[in-house]
Chains A and B, each alone.
Chain A
């Protein structure tokens, strides 16, 4: 019995330590496949998510160190631009949620008051990106202002139509972001010289 318990303990500790809490996403996204083997960086990224139903969601991280508190700072900056004042409790809640969000800034308070994921998902109608009210652009602007080292990532559903991706790319390029990381899943492909056919 004792060796078995020992083994189980070791295994259990291993799995507990390696387990990373992955926040639940509001929108399921089937990522396209690629052969790239670079992994997503842990910090300093802003992600634009494009869901199947063409909703745009946005995600930012708290920075490589928890003292930096990028998320509440960015939200505060956003609030200033839209004349919405967020209470410290709301800012703290926003820091803690740590998932992507797809609400217009006007409904952000409602989003922060929601109890759980389901309640939040209900009001997530996507971030407006049309030229009259381009909130995604302002989010990107604020993020870069607070965290100049941020990298842009795009996580799109493989089935989404291209024009909407093009729009997102345009918005990013308008803000002088020309280097993107497309988030994909790994698929191994190997080809050799012999594969090249000759006509």
Chain B
């Protein structure tokens, strides 16, 4: 466009002919370079930052301290034991009688596996939380966005019917499964869960379950 204007000027004022040489810069190499640079930056830019998942473990009870571990209701307790090969075992209650250990149920990390078990037990709280979320989305409850999380946390704190999940890991478990199971806790809105060590009786139970059970169908539900 600049060129055209200059050409017109040249025709009007003939005297300045030698001064007004149309500046014609060849842009092609610059455009080429820009193309390359844009492609480079597009391919190297990572828009997704890695995410973090918070987990709080109970404070360790040191040996010389006279502190009793907190007592929890047996009826609400649910134990999840991570096994090898993406297997996961669970049983309700507490394993305290070596002669009569509670039955271990085997399941897996598919949506029909451990998630169903957890959802079934945590139905009341899960419904409350998802109803609350729906109300926030549809505008029935009008609260600022940043207090949604704390409101949900309050809902979880008030809950007194959902399971108390104790997560334990057998020595051959993988770290990925540990993350998976904590992930399931947040998917299912479990209010209370923690990670504890395996007791010897549970270890026995796991070994028996792994030794006896051939690889057959999973998903006990």
Contacts and interface: CB of A to CB of B under 8 A. Distances in A.
Interface of A: 1-2, 4-5, 8-9, 11-12, 15-16, 18-20, 22, 31-41, 50, 153, 155-163, 165-166, 169, 173-174, 176, 178-186, 189, 191-193, 195-197, 199
Nearest to A166: B169
A106 B34 CA distance: 47
B173 interface: yes
Contacts of B49: 39-40
Interface string B107-119: 0000100011001
Interface in B53-68: 53-60
Given A5-B34, A173-B59, A196-B116, 8 more contacts: A1-B27, A18-B47, A38-B51, A50-B175, A162-B171, A184-B53, A185-B50, A191-B111
Contacts of B182: 34, 182
Contacts of B115: 191
Interface of B: 1, 27, 30-31, 34-35, 37-38, 41-42, 44-60, 82, 111, 115-116, 119-120, 123, 126-127, 130, 169-180, 182-183, 186-187, 221
A32 B1 CA distance: 56
B65 to A, nearest CB: 13
Contacts of B46: 20, 22
Given A40-B50, A182-B55, A183-B52, A165 B45 contact: no
Nearest to A186: B51
Contacts, number: 167
B90 to A, nearest CB: 15
Contact of B180 (A19, A32, A40, A174): A32
A123 to B, nearest CB: 25
B174 A158 contact: yes
A160 B174 CA distance: 6
A178 B175 contact: no
A189 to B, nearest CB: 6
B116 A36 contact: no
Contacts of B116: 196-197
Contacts of B55: 179-182
Contact of B175 (A8, A158, A173): A158
15 contacts: A1-B31, A2-B1, A32-B179, A34-B182, A36-B183, A39-B49, A160-B175, A161-B173, A162-B175, A183-B51, A184-B179, A184-B183, A185-B50, A185-B51, A186-B51
A145 B60 CA distance: 21
Nearest to B45: A19
A199 B121 CA distance: 12
